[in-house]
């Protein structure tokens, strides 16, 4: 029998080109569904600035689908 620790990840890193849109959104969604059970972080290959597009998209999604929303890291 495989333990829960081996079946489920303890940490997840989402990476994209500049850590502006995709990886922060993915990390925020993962954290929303898994809370403190999994350490979640986002990173980029190059330094990028926070993109307000992420906030707009996630706010729109949260009104439709999710009751609570924790913003991703910029």
The CATH code belonging to domain 9-64 is 3.40.50.2300
Contacts of 62 (CB under 8 A, 6+ apart): 68, 69
pLDDT value at residue 68: 40
The domains of the chain are located at 9-64
pLDDT value at residue 71: 43
- Encode burial over 21-38: b for 16+ CB neighbours within 10 A, e otherwise: bbbbbbbbbbbbeeeeee
Mean pLDDT score of the chain, rounded to an integer? 77
Please state whether 19 falls in left (phi above 0), alpha (psi between -120 and 50) or beta: left
For residue range 34-63, what is the model confidence (pLDDT) as tens digits?
Answer: 888 999 999 988 877 888 888 888 887 665
pLDDT value at residue 59: 81
Residues pairing with 39 in the sheet: 11
Residue 14 φ then ψ, to 5°? -100, 130
Tell whether pTM > 0.85: no
């Amino acid at each position: 029998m495989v333990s829960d620790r081996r079946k489920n990840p303890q940490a997840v890193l989402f990476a994209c080109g500049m850590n502006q849109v995709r990886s922060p959104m993915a990390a925020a969604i993962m954290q929303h569904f898994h809370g403190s059970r999994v350490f979640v972080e986002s990173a980029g290959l190059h330094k990028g600035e926070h993109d307000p597009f992420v906030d707009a998209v996630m706010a729109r999604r949260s009104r439709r689908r999710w009751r609570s929303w924790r913003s991703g890291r910029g």
